[in-house]
């Protein structure tokens, strides 16, 4: 399947927020995406299947570092390499913004996400006890030097 990877606009926010609601225990609201899209210090990358959002990733930029606070692939598109492609495309955009290191947190039990990050070269750099709620869980902190 061929996807178009590009920066999100406010036109995609309703779709993004709806995928987020289905996928995340503490979902971000539409306003948070609008803020990120309109900020000079953040971007939201989307993978488009024609006019449908198949996945998205949010980055906060503090060059030479960036944070990845939110990445989701719509349930129907999972397990086909889209998460990997979305991050690979995003890393190219980050490099153009003078970013060389990406940080993230992930639930300890999130095997799919941890496996994806490991396979892209992220390394565990620490743990935050009781970082998440609903349910309460530790976060694994990871970083990638690109
Ligand atoms: C994490 C997520 C983005 C992965 O997206 P995806 O498109 O399904 O992932 P890909 O198909 O690109 O998989 C890439 C690698 O991730 C790992 N992976 C993906 N799904 C997996 C699963 N269910 N179990 C174990 N490993 C998995 C594998 O290492 C895979 O490599 P492989 O294809 O060579 O086996 C997706 O599962 C998702 O949206 N989950 C819900 C939201 C979420 O948890 N976001 C992360 C918050 S930190």
| pLDDT, tens digit (0-9, with 9 covering 90-100), for 5-39 | 999 999 999 999 999 999 999 999 999 999 999 99
122 C-alpha to ligand 1 centroid (Å)? 14
Q: Is the CB of 111 under 6 A from ligand 1?
A: yes
Residue 1 above 90 pLDDT? no
60 C-alpha to ligand 1 centroid (Å)? 21
pLDDT tens string 71-98? 999 999 999 999 999 999 999 999 998 9
Domain 4-104 fold is: Aminopeptidase (3.40.630)
Share of the chain above pLDDT 90, in %: 99
114 C-alpha to ligand 1 centroid (Å)? 8
Which atom of ligand 1 approaches the CA of 75 most closely? Answer: 39
* Summary mean pLDDT of the chain: 97
pTM of the predicted model as reported, rounded to 2 decimal places: 0.97
H or E element, residue 35: helix 30-38
Asked if residue 11 has a cis previous peptide bond (ω within 30° of 0), the answer is no
Mark whether 77 is an active-site residue: no
Sort strands 65-73 and 101-107 into parallel, antiparallel or unpaired.
Answer: parallel
């Amino acid at each position: 399947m061929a996807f178009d990877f590009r920066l999100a606009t406010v036109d995609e926010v309703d779709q993004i927020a709806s995928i987020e609601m289905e996928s995340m225990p503490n979902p971000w609201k539409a306003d948070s995406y609008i803020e990120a899209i309109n900020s000079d210090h953040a971007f939201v990358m989307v993978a488009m299947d024609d006019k449908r959002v198949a996945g998205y990733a949010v980055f906060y930029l503090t060059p030479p570092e960036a944070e990845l606070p939110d990445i989701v692939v719509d349930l129907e598109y999972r397990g086909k390499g889209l998460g990997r492609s979305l991050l690979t495309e995003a890393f190219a955009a980050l490099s153009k913004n003078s970013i060389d290191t990406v940080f993230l947190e992930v639930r300890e039990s999130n095997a799919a996400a941890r496996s994806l990050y490991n396979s892209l070269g992220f390394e565990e750099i620490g743990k935050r006890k009781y970082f998440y709620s609903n349910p309460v869980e530790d976060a694994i902190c990871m970083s990638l030097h690109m």
